[in-house]
Amino acid sequence: MNISIFGLGYVGAVSLACLARDGHHVVGVDVDPAKLKLISDGKTPVVEEGMIELMAKVVGSGLVSVTTDAAQALRDSEVSLICVGTPSAANGSQDQSAVLRLAEQLGVALRDIDRPHTFVFRSTLVPGTVEDVLRPILEKASGKQEGRDFFVCFQPEFLREGSSIRDYDHPPFTIVGANSAEPVARLKQLFGHLPCDFHTTSVRAAETVKYCCNNFHALKITFANETARLCEVLGVNPFEVMDLVCRDTQLNISRAYMKPGFAFGGSCLPKDLRATLYLAKQHDVVLPMHAGILASNRVHIDHAVDKVLESGRRRVGMVGLAFKTGTDDLRESPLVTVAERLIGKGLSLLVYDPEVHLSSLLGANRRFIEEHLPHIGALVRSDLEAVVAESDVLLIGSSDKRTIQEVKRLARADQIVVDLANVGESQGMAAQYVGLTW
C-alpha cells in the first residue's frame, strides 16, 4: 500500500520503519527538516531499540521517502497516518494546535485528489475530536464529504517508548474506531496480520479507550507505589506484597470488579480502606490515591441520588437494599445511604429486598435494622407488587433475577426505572428506562 505518515516522532518514525519493513511504500512528512534529513540519510530521528538497523535497512530498500510537502504526500498515498504530537497546554487541556493546522492543510490538499483517501488519526485525541473537530475542518477545507469522498477513523497507538518495535509487532489489540467499512478494510490490510484481536468500534469509543488505558496504567503504577510507601514504614517487603497481589488472577488481575455499576460498600472494603488510611497517617505516609477512593465512591452515590431527583418523581420504590445481591448484609450498604438521602430530600420511599425480607423473617438481620436503621426498617415491605404499585420511580439496586423479572413485568408506562445494577432494559418493559452511567 502507499502510505503517508504525518509527524515523525516516536509513533510516526517507528510506524514508518515497520510499515516499510512489511513491504509498503511510505512517505514521511514532518515540519522539522532535521528529522527528514536524518531519515533520508537512513538514520533514525528517535532513539529506540532496533531502530538504527531497521531505518538503515528500509531506507536502503527504496520504500521510504520524506517530504515537507503535505499535498505531495497525499497525492502519493491512499492512506495517511496522522501521528503529530498532542501535548498538554499550560491549563491541562490538550494542545491540539499541530493536528488542527495539519487537518486544514490536508483538507486543502484533498481538493485536488479525485480518489477516496483514508485519514487514520493515531495521535491521542480527546474523545469527540475526530468527528466534531477534525472531520468538519477536512470537509470545509476540501469541499468534500466524509464517508463518500474521503474517510476518517481513529486507531489508538499502544506502543511504549523503549520497546516500540516489539510493541508494534505485538500490540495488546488493534482497535479501529470508524463509521464505515472502507477504513476498517484498509487497516485490516495493514495490521490484520498482527498476533492480536482486531476490534472495530465507534470513533469516540476508540478515542476513549486510549485515554482509559493510559489512565489505568498510571493508576496501577500509583497503586503499587503507594502500597510500597506504606510497606516501607511497616518494614514489609513491597515486592513480595505486590507479587502476591498479582498472583491472584481471580479477583485482582482479572476482569473482576472492572465493570461499570454502583458504588462499593459492605462490611470489608470501606472499613479496610479507612484502616489503611489511618495506619498511613500514624506513620506520616501520604496516600492520596487511596484516600481518593472513598471520596470517589461518595460521588458515585451522589450521582445515583441525582438520577432519582432528576426524574422529578416523589414516590420512590427501591428494589434492593443490601450492599450486594445475594446477601442480607446491610452494613455500609451504599443503597442504605441512597435511601437516607432520598428520605432527607423529602421523597417518600418504600423498599423491597428479597434477602433482607427473608433475613428479617428469620430474625438474622432484624436487630441490626432495629438498632441502626429503624427509619429504613419501617419502609421495608415484603410485597414487591405493593412497592411497585405505590411508586412513580423504581430504583433498581439488586440484580436478583426473579425479582428483576417481576419488576420489569409489573412496571407501568407512567413509571421510570432507574437502574443502578445494570439489569438492562428489556424488550416489552413498559416503563421509561434510565441507566446509572449507561
Ligand X SMILES: NC(=O)c1ccc[n+]([C@@H]2O[C@H](COP(=O)([O-])OP(=O)(O)OC[C@H]3O[C@@H](n4cnc5c(N)ncnc54)[C@H](O)[C@@H]3O)[C@@H](O)[C@H]2O)c1
Judged by CB under 6 A, the residue of 31, 108, 234, 343 near ligand X is 31
Return the range that interacts with ligand X (CB under 6 A); candidates 80-88, 291-299, 370-378, 383-391: 80-88
Minimum CB distance to ligand X, residue 66 (Å): 11
Question: For residues 123 and 83, is the Cβ–Cβ distance under 8 A?
Answer: yes
Give the count of beta carbons closer than 10 Å to the beta carbon of residue 34.
Answer: 8
Sign of the C-alpha dihedral computed for residues 246, 251, 257 and 258 taken in this order: positive
Return the range that interacts with ligand X (CB under 6 A); candidates 10-18, 235-243, 326-334, 393-401: 10-18
67 or 426: CB nearest ligand X: 67
The residue number whose beta carbon is nearest to ligand X equals 9
Binding mask 91-110 for ligand X (x = CB under 6 A): -------x--xx--------
Judged by CB under 6 A, the residue of 4, 86, 129, 155 near ligand X is 86
Judged by CB under 6 A, the residue of 22, 40, 56, 85 near ligand X is 85
**DSSP track, 207-251:** HHHHHHHHHHHHHHHHHHHHHHHHHHHHT--HHHHHHHHHH-TTT
Q: Is 18 in the site for ligand X (CB under 6 A)?
A: no
Q: Is 8 in the site for ligand X (CB under 6 A)?
A: yes
Give the count of beta carbons closer than 10 Å to the beta carbon of residue 133.
Answer: 16
Q: Is 138 in the site for ligand X (CB under 6 A)?
A: no
146 or 207: CB nearest ligand X: 207
Q: State how far the Cα of 41 lies from the Cα of 64, in Å rounded to an integer.
A: 11
Q: State how far the Cα of 56 lies from the Cα of 40, in Å rounded to an integer.
A: 9
All residues at 6 or more sequence positions from 19 whose CB lies less than 8 Å from its CB, including other chains: 3, 5, 26, 190
- Residue that is written with C-alpha cell 470488579 in the block: 257
Binders in 155-184 for ligand X, by CB under 6 A: 157, 159-161
Q: State how far the Cα of 420 lies from the Cα of 300, in Å rounded to an integer.
A: 10
Q: Is 217 in the site for ligand X (CB under 6 A)?
A: no
Polymer length in residues for the chain: 438
83 among known catalytic residues = no
* Three-class secondary structure of residue 117 per DSSP: strand
Return the range that interacts with ligand X (CB under 6 A); candidates 79-87, 269-277, 370-378, 404-412: 79-87
Judged by CB under 6 A, the residue of 11, 39, 64, 305 near ligand X is 11
For ligand X (CB under 6 A), the number of binding residues is 25
Q: Write the burial class of residue 244 (CB in 10 Å: 0-12 exposed, 13-18 middle, 19+ buried).
A: exposed
Return the range that interacts with ligand X (CB under 6 A); candidates 6-14, 302-310, 318-326, 416-424: 6-14
Catalytic positions, please? 268
Residues of the shown chain interacting with ligand X in the complex, contacts defined by CB under 6 A: 6-12, 29-32, 35, 83-86, 98, 101-102, 123-124, 157, 159-161
